[in-house]
Every structure is written in C-alpha cells, then in structure tokens.
Amino acid sequence: MTLGALADALGGRLVGDASTLIDQVATLSGATSGRISFLAHAKYAAQLKQTAASAVLLRAADSAHCNVAHIIVDDPYVAFARVSQLLNPQQPTQKGVHPSAVIAADAIIHPSCRIDPHVVVSSGAVLHEGVWIGSGSHVGENVTLGAHTRLYPNVVIYAGCQLGERVVLHANVVIGADGFGIANEAGVWIKIPQIGGVRIGDDVEVGASTTIDRGAIEDTVIEEGVKLDNQIQIGHNCFVGAHTAMAGCVAVAGSARIGRHCSIGAAALILGHLEIADHTRISAATVVSRSIHTAGTYTGLFPMDEHAAWTKNAAHLRRLAQYAERVQALEARLAKLEKTHG
Amino acid sequence: MTLGALADALGGRLVGDASTLIDQVATLSGATSGRISFLAHAKYAAQLKQTAASAVLLRAADSAHCNVAHIIVDDPYVAFARVSQLLNPQQPTQKGVHPSAVIAADAIIHPSCRIDPHVVVSSGAVLHEGVWIGSGSHVGENVTLGAHTRLYPNVVIYAGCQLGERVVLHANVVIGADGFGIANEAGVWIKIPQIGGVRIGDDVEVGASTTIDRGAIEDTVIEEGVKLDNQIQIGHNCFVGAHTAMAGCVAVAGSARIGRHCSIGAAALILGHLEIADHTRISAATVVSRSIHTAGTYTGLFPMDEHAAWTKNAAHLRRLAQYAERVQALEARLAKLEKTHG
Amino acid sequence: MTLGALADALGGRLVGDASTLIDQVATLSGATSGRISFLAHAKYAAQLKQTAASAVLLRAADSAHCNVAHIIVDDPYVAFARVSQLLNPQQPTQKGVHPSAVIAADAIIHPSCRIDPHVVVSSGAVLHEGVWIGSGSHVGENVTLGAHTRLYPNVVIYAGCQLGERVVLHANVVIGADGFGIANEAGVWIKIPQIGGVRIGDDVEVGASTTIDRGAIEDTVIEEGVKLDNQIQIGHNCFVGAHTAMAGCVAVAGSARIGRHCSIGAAALILGHLEIADHTRISAATVVSRSIHTAGTYTGLFPMDEHAAWTKNAAHLRRLAQYAERVQALEARLAKLEKTHG
C-alpha cells in the first residue's frame, strides 16, 4: 500500500511522499526500507532518529524529531494496530469438510464453513457462515458457533455452549468443562452436576490453553469484546463484562462478577462470589479478596528484593502486629514523660 | 420426581405437598415453578422469601421464614448435590469403538467400553467395564483404566499409568508426562529419565488442562476421592492423600506429601519435598514453604489495596528490618530517659 | 550393566565388586538388590546406612558411612542422571507415517521420521531425520523441526515456527499462538496481527501444557538447552537465554529478556519489557517487577502463617506507612526530650 492510502485510512496527516510503498510493519530498531513503524512511548524516542523505516506513525509532538516520512495521529498504537491489520489481512478461509472429520448427521453446517482433519462435530451442533474448526477440535452436542468464529487446533467445547460471531479460540482452549462443584458429606466429596452452560459474546478472543467452566445451574457468561490471554481459568457461573481484558494466567474463582472495560493484570487471582466495578484495573499478581465497588487501580504484591534482604524483612513481617503494639506503647510512655518533663 | 420421593431419598422432613412434581434444580433467585432450590448460606436468606421455586432445601431454623414447600435437612448443600444427581442422572454410555480410533492389537478392551473418534489406545493398555474415552484422547502403552472411568476429549495418558474406577479426567488433562528432573553439569542441564509412573485411585476427578507428572524413580500417587480443579500442576513423586480437594491453578512441586482431607485454595503453591498434615486447609494464593505438622488453616497473601496506598506500604515493607531496629532503639533510649526522669 | 562399567563411564572410583550387576536406579529407601542409588543431600544421609541398594553414588566424604558398594564421584546427582540414562536408554523410534495422518503434499519428511495417528502436517513443513510426532499433534504451515525432535501427543505448532534438533515438547504444548497484542480505541479492543514467529534452539525441553506465543513483529526466541517445566506461559517477543531453567507455572509477560543460565522458581512471574542478567536466580512465587542487572538470588513472597496470625499482620501491613510515620515522629519527640533532659 502507499503511504498516502495508509494516511487516508487512518485519517492522519502525512508528512512525506504519499507514493512511497509500504509492505509491512516493523519495530523502530528492526525496520528496513518499505516498513512502517510507530512511536507510542517516550522510552523509544531515541530509536526514532536512527530508524531505517520508510515511515513512522507518531503524535504531532514527535514530528519535529523525525527524519523520515511519518503520519501524525492521535494514538500511534491504535494506528499501528489498524495499519498492521491492513497490511496483514486474514487469509480467506478455504471452505469444505475434511473427509477424516466426523460430523453428526443432524449437525447443521453452513456450506461456507471449513472443517479440518480429525474434527468431531456432535449431534445438534449449529455452525454458521464462515466458521473454521481447526484440526483435532471437538464440538460437543448442541453447541452453536456464530458466523466467522474460528477454533484453532485441539479446542474442546463441551455440550450446550453458545458462542457468538467472530469469536477466536486458540489451540487447546477448553470451554464448558464441569465447574468445581463438590459438597462434603462426612469427609467424602459428592459431585454437584454442572447443568449450566457457557455463553460467549461476539468478538471475544481466548488465548491458548485457557479454560472456561460451565455453570453449576445457570450459565457462565463472557460478554462481547472480551479478550483473554493464555492459560486463564474462569470458574463456573462467572460473569465477565464486555470489553474487559485479562493478561495471561489470571484465575477467576466461581461466581465472580467482573464489570465491563476492566483490565486484569497477569497472574492476578479473583476470589469467588465477589463483584468488580466497571473500568477497574487490577495489577499483575494481585489477589482480589473483596468486592471492588469503586473503579480505580488496585494492587497487592510483595516487592521483590535480594534474597538476604527479603529474608530479614519477611521475618519482621511475621511480627508486624507486635511491632505495632510496641510503637503504641512507646507513644503512651513518651506522652507520659512529655507531660511531666516536656 | 415428586417432592415426596426426594424427601424420602434425602431422609429429610417435608413441609408441603408430597405430590408436587420437581423436574430440575435452580437458584433461589432464578427458580420457576417445578424447580427446587436450596438455602445453605445466611447471605441468601433474603432471597428465600421472594423465590418462585416449588420447593427449597433448608435447615430447620429457616423453615419458619419459607413460604413455599421445603425439605428440612441437616446440610442443604449436600442435599442439593444429591437432588441434582437424582434429577440429572448420567446418560448411559453407548458402547462401541468408532472406526477412526486406532487400537493396538494387544490392548484389552471390555466390550461395554465406548471409544470415540480419533482415539489412540496403545499396546498393552487395559480398559475395564464401561470405560469411555473421549475423542482425540491418547492412552499410552500399558495404561490401565478401571471400570467406568471417563476421559473427556483430547486427554493424554503417558505409558504405564494406572487409574482406578470411576475416575473422571476432563478435556486436555495430561497424566504421566516427564517430571522436571534435570541435573546441572558445568552449566548444561542433563535430563534424568523419569521411570516412575502415576497411580490414581478410585473416584478421583481431575479438571480441564490439569497436569500430573510421572515419578522420577517411584510413582506419583493420587489417592481415592481426590478432587482437582482446572489447570493444576502436580510435580513428580507427589503424594496426594485421599479426599483432598484443590481449587484451580494450584501448583505442587516435586515430592511434596499432602495429607488426606486437605483443602488447598486456588492458585496456592506447595513447595517441594515437604509434608502437609491431614485435614490442613491452605488459603488461596498461599505459598507453603515449610512442612505443616499440625492441621489448621494457613494463609499468606499480600492484601490488595488502592494502588497509591500499596505503593507507599510496599516501599516501607522493603525497609521493615530498619524500622524494627529503630523501634528497638527507641525503646532503649526511652527506658534510659524514664530511668532518670520517669 | 556391571558396577565396574558404570564406574568407568562416570570416571568415578569404585569401592566394591566391579562384577556386580546393576539393572535399575532406585531411591535409598526404596532400593532392592540390583539397584543403584545416590546420596546428594545431607538430609538423606540417615537412609544411607539402611539402604538395600547394591550400590550407591556418593561423595568421598560419605564413603566411610556406606556399608554397601559405592562409586565416589564429585557430583552424585549428575552421576545419577548419567547412570539413569545408561540404564534407561531411549527406545529406538519406529519409522513410518500412520495412514490416518494427514500430510500436505509439499511437506518434506525425512524417511526416518515417525508420524503417529491423527497427526496433521501442513503445507511447507520440513521434518528432519528421526523426528517423531505424537498422535493428534498439529504441525502448522512452513514449520521446521530439527533432527530427532519429538512431539508428544496433542501438541500444536502454529505456522512458521522453527524448532532446533533434539527438542522435546510434551503433551498439549502450544507453540506460536498469537501474542496478546491489543490496542484500545474508545473502549473497544483492536487486535494487532501477530506476524512474528517462535524460534527454539537445540536441546530445549518443554513440559506439558506450556504455551509459547509468537512475536508481534519479530520472533519470540528460546535459546539452546533451555528447560521449561509444565504449564509455563511465555509471552510474545520474549527472549530466554541458553541453559535457563524454569519450574512449573512460571509466567513471563511480553518482551521480557531473560539471560542465560538463569533459574526461575515455580509460579514466579516476570513482568514485561524488562531484563534479567545471566546467572540470576528467582525464587518461587516471586514477582520480578523491575530489571535485574546484577546476578544474584531475588525473592519476594509473603510468608505463610497460621490464619489468625496472618490476619493480624496483614491488617497492620495495610497501615505500614502510618507506622513508619509514627516511628519517625517518636524519634523526633524523643530527641527533643533527650536534648532537654538527657
């Protein structure tokens, strides 16, 4: 594409030759001729001057420091996403059912679907237009997959789950396995049948090896536009509001209700049966142990230190309550002394 | 089923019309006519008055506050589990081996087994009565699966592992992968062959994408009745005692020995080569870094706070040892002053 | 093998009968006749006297306390690894492509390869000598697998990834899924195409259900000799230096650069865009939230305690900044008093 066409598509202001051809995105430091890069964070500003990119996406304030062609935009990272989508369009799906796939006689499969080798599509499943099922995936009974939804290889969807349109499930994702519902009777665990399902909205993307459990009674719900990274665990009956994003290895215990437009950092843990307000940000490795009713950023992680320093501090941490009492006692004693002699 | 039949099955006392038909369980708030719900926690008591359920399982103390039919039981949650099992019986397994499955000539498969598409059953494997292998699963050489054990799709069991009866492995579980046994010689890691296996007792259930490694020399052992949630990692040579339950994302390092009837909270980490007493409870996100010889509840997690507050506290935490010294110094100085002027 | 042959292979000094036959390794406590064990840690020294092993690998200092034949070596754990490899040689791979595997017409597969049932090898893939692909695995387009690389069952490798020689991927590993690249425009997430790949060096071993994401623009790189345990998540554009080892459930966020010969403890979290020096050791459950430029051992985990004690200490932890101020105020007041009355 030409630089002019890209600037038009972005609605940005081009500084440079509109006829320059751009064939791919690149980092500032790794770019070569024909590549377009971006400057979104000040820490990479030094790389701007040395870049060999043919063009850069940047903010107006950085224009003066740029020696190559550039497109001025409000948000260079968003512009970069759009340019990369334009330069890397999804390949059109080849339609057709591989002969090794095992398809139930009563499954309804739109003729535009692509079903790869060794797939199983079970009884009652409905696959809408343009669905692509990667090799080795299992689509359970009565599952519905909305138009243009894509399963990468070896995904498993249990019976009865409902997915929206343009949903992407990466390899080895499991949707709808039984929630962890057990009751203890005299020391022995009794299983509670998990009769709810999972409902996933449009435009949800789920990273590799993430698991989303089915509900115990009612459904687990993932609203539209949610983005989940790899190896996340969503417990039964959770609700994840629209456009919330979670980084890798987050765990959400059962029946948690997470608002819309939240950001959950890597390896955070959300305990069960609590609520998180819309637009809340949870830092990485933080344990959310109570409901959050006011949006904001919440954090709780033990600061890393050299091991010897940590050992000392950790030992005192276990006596923190004693130190608190000693400070209080000191204050009382000192006040008494000050009263007499101050 | 009638309410009378349910009350009889539970050994509970029915208040209401024994002929009422019940077809499914429901939550108090989501129930409609024909549904039975339960009240197990006081926090849901307010929902009891508004419920549209045809009946409720509850304790004697809550009977007076209930306007609909109810069954009085000692433990409503256990009763709910039993009722849900009665109303949601497991569907009988259709027997038979799908033609796409690849079965070793010397595998022994009971004629009542169900083997789904694209399964592999390797040489020397033994599948007892009523075993059901989900699509795409791999059963390694010389694996034994006890009667009525069920593998959901895409499970992998490595060679030589032994599973008991009524074991349930959810999708993408891996049993018997090599433990992490490596020795460092001059900076290069040498692999230690993992020649032990995995032995899993009767009535164990394992959640989606959980991994249980084979032993380095002797076997990794999961005793009967253990319940593991999703995405748990059990290292080589661990021992997990009977009827212990672990919530999602727990990690257990090698050679840990966990007692019977323990509860391990979500995302807890048990370090290697240590022991945990029977009936111990570990809170979510807690790192067990030493053996626990006395049953009790053990916790260690950094409390979440608003980010700004956390930042301040975390900075002081890294100077905790200094503050401890300053408190001690203050005490000495004050004592001296008090001696002279007190 | 005879004890003499083992001692020769190790370059160790044999104390005992060189003609004794050894058929397998064992633990000190579990050993029977014909087995060889090892003593690497002082905590097992008591077991040395009782062992029924035919021989033990140990250091010179322990020789006097050993009543059975033994081989004196510098590092008994490394010697044990070598002996176990000698006694448990890898079985030779049976070559051949199972008829149920689906192989693209233009894939290049060395005749010595083994391709198990229900495998998919996509267009443009190259499999070198002795490669073994376990059942149900998916090899994407243009993937290269170096000589003697082994995939256990149900592994998924996305298009364009490059693996070296003698790489081992355990069951359900996913290589090259999309990194978590999203940009937020007015509350809606826009996907950034992930056009980089994954490059994995020689002799890398990856545990079950570990995921390594492809790069956003440039490649994610795992250098030679790296050992990853189970359920690890490596984000896009990470670099993991040669001979680094990570225990189970570690998470590494995007663009982190980890040095060579590092050890990362179980369930540690490395945040994104930071660097870790060669030879650094990170303790289990530690969050690395800033770059580490000096090798050493780094730790940050909340010490476990009995729940009641933890509750008290955690409450004070949230007021730590206040206590710090109170200590400072006490010091000032006391100094004033001392000045007048000291």
Q: What is the mean pLDDT of residues C59-75?
A: 96
3-state SS class at C77:
helix
Statement: residue B266 has pLDDT above 90:
yes
> Does residue A38 lie in a domain region?
yes
Look up the domain containing B335 and give its range. 307-341
Considering the domain architecture, whether residues C131 and C262 belong to the same structural domain is answered as yes
CATH of the domain at A45: 3.40.1390.10
- Shared domain for C173 and C291, answered yes or no, is yes
The reported pLDDT for the residue numbered C289 is 96
Enumerate residues 35 to 74 of chain A having a beta carbon within 8 A of any beta carbon in chain C: none
Both C150 and C231 in one domain: the answer is yes
Q: What is the pLDDT of residue C43?
A: 87
- Do A331 and C330 make contact, defined as CB atoms within 8 angstroms? yes
* C236 annotated active-site: yes
- Is position A16 within any domain? yes
- Selected residues 96-135 of chain A with any CB under 8 Å from a CB in chain C: 98, 100, 116-118, 134-135
Is a pLDDT exceeding 90 seen at residue B342?
no
Average pLDDT, chain B: 96
Residues C191 and C81 in one domain: no
Q: State the pLDDT at residue A315.
A: 92
Alpha-carbon span A229 to C209, nearest angstrom? 15
Report CB contact under 8 Å: C269, A285: yes
Is residue C78 domain-shared with residue C151, that is, in the same domain?
Answer: no
Pick A320's closest partner by Cβ from C182, C183, C313: C313
Contact B182 C245 (CB under 8 A): yes
Cβ–Cβ gap A30/C217 under 8 Å: yes
Helices (H), C190-306: none
Query: What is the SS3 assignment for C6?
Result: helix
From the list B70, B138, B236, B243, the catalytic residue is B236
Asked if the Cβ–Cβ distance from B243 to A188 is below 8 Å, we say yes
Determine the 3-state secondary structure of A180 from DSSP.
coil
Backbone torsions φ then ψ of B4, nearest 5 degrees: -65, -45
Q: Which residues of B touch C206 (CB under 8 A)?
A: none
- Compare all CA atoms of chain B with the CA of C87 and give the residue at the minimum distance: B193
Q: What is the mean pLDDT of chain C?
A: 96
Q: Residue B33 falls within a domain, yes or no? A: yes
**pLDDT score, position A340:** 85
Question: Rounded to whole angstroms, how far apart are CA atoms B115 and B120?
Answer: 9
Q: Which of B296, B166, B268, B41 is nearest to A253 (CA)?
A: B268
Q: If you average pLDDT over residues C225-243, what whole number do you get? A: 98
Please judge whether A302 and C300 are an interchain contact, meaning their C-beta atoms are less than 8 angstroms apart. yes
CA distance A77 to chain C (A): 6
What is the arithmetic mean of pLDDT over C237-254? Answer: 98
CB proximity A245 to B under 8 Å: no
Q: What is the pLDDT of residue C268?
A: 98
Edge-to-edge strand order for the sheet containing C35-38?
C13-15, C69-72, C55-58, C35-38, C24-25
Compute the nearest-CA separation of B74 from chain C (Å). Answer: 28
pLDDT in tens, B277-307: 999 999 999 999 999 999 999 999 999 999 9
Q: State how far residue A82 is from chain C, nearest Cα, in angstroms.
A: 8
Q: Report the C-alpha gap between B121 and B133 in whole angstroms.
A: 9
Q: Do residue A243 and residue C320 have CB atoms under 8 angstroms apart?
A: no
C54 lies in the same domain as C76:
yes
CB of B335 less than 8 A from some CB of C: no
pLDDT mean across residues, chain A: 96
Q: How far apart are CA C89 and CA B188, in angstroms?
A: 20
> In this predicted structure, what is the pLDDT of residue C92?
76
What's residue B43's pLDDT?
A: 87
Residues C11 and C160 occupy one common structural domain: no
Token pair recorded at residue B30? 């989501």
Q: Per the residue annotation, which of A70, A138, A170, A236 is the catalytic one?
A: A236
Q: How many A/C residue pairs have CB atoms within 8 Å?
A: 225
In a domain, B49, yes or no: yes
CB contact under 8 A, A81 and C231: no
Residues 255-284 of B with CB under 8 A from A: 261, 266-267, 284
Give the mean model confidence (pLDDT) for residues B209-227. 97
Q: Give the closest of C225, C304, C334 to B330, CB-based.
A: C334
Inspect the interface and report whether the beta carbons of B229 and A180 lie closer than 8 Å. Answer: yes
Contact C183 A77 (CB under 8 A): yes
CB pair distance less than 8 Å for B152 and A177 = yes
Nearest to C266 among B184, B231, B251 (CB): B251
Q: How many domains does chain A have?
A: 2
What is the percent of chain C where pLDDT is above 70?
Answer: 100
**Residue C55: strand pairing partners:** C36, C69
Q: Please say whether the dihedral angle defined by the alpha carbons of residues B243, B249, B255 and B256, taken in this order, is positive or negative.
A: negative
| Strands, sheet with C233-234, edge to edge from the N-terminal-most edge strand | C102-103, C120-121, C138-139, C156-157, C174-177, C211-213, C233-234, C251-252, C269-270, C287-288
Asked if the structure places residue B188 within a domain, the reply is no
Nearest to C327 by CA among B334, A80, B164: B334
Same domain, C253 and C178: yes
Distance from CA of C208 to the nearest CA of A (A): 11
- CA-based nearest distance B94→chain A, Å: 14
Of C292, B193, B57, C244, give the one whose Cα is nearest residue A307.
C292
How far apart are alpha carbons B203 and B200 in whole angstroms? Answer: 9
Domain-terminating residue out of B55, B87, B119? B87
A chain contacts of residue B25, beta-carbon cutoff 8 Å:
195, 217
Q: What pLDDT was estimated at residue C342?
A: 67
Buried b / exposed e along C287-303 (16+ C-beta atoms within 10 A): bbbeebeeeeebbbbbb
**Out of B117, B152, B305, closest to residue A299 by CB:** B305
pTM over 0.90: yes
Of A285, A305, A327, the CB nearest to C298: A305
pLDDT, tens only, A90-116: 887 789 999 999 999 999 999 999 999
Nearest-CA distance B205 → chain C (Å): 19
ipTM of the complex as predicted:
0.96
In a domain, A148, yes or no: no
Q: Which of B87, B121, B156 is the last residue of a domain?
A: B87
Q: Of A70, A87, A104, which residue is a domain's last?
A: A87
Q: pLDDT tens for residues B325-336?
A: 999 999 999 999
pLDDT 10s digits, A280-291: 999 999 999 999
Among the options C128, C138, C148, C236, which is catalytic? C236
Chain B nearest-CA distance from C242, in A, is 9
How far, in Å, CA of A267 to CA of B190, rounded? 30
Q: Chain C: residue nearest B291 by CA?
A: C304
For CA atoms A30, A33, A35, A38, give the dihedral sign: positive
Which residues 132-171 of A are in CB contact (within 8 Å) with B? 136, 138, 154, 156, 158
Q: Does C223 touch chain B (CB under 8 A)?
A: no
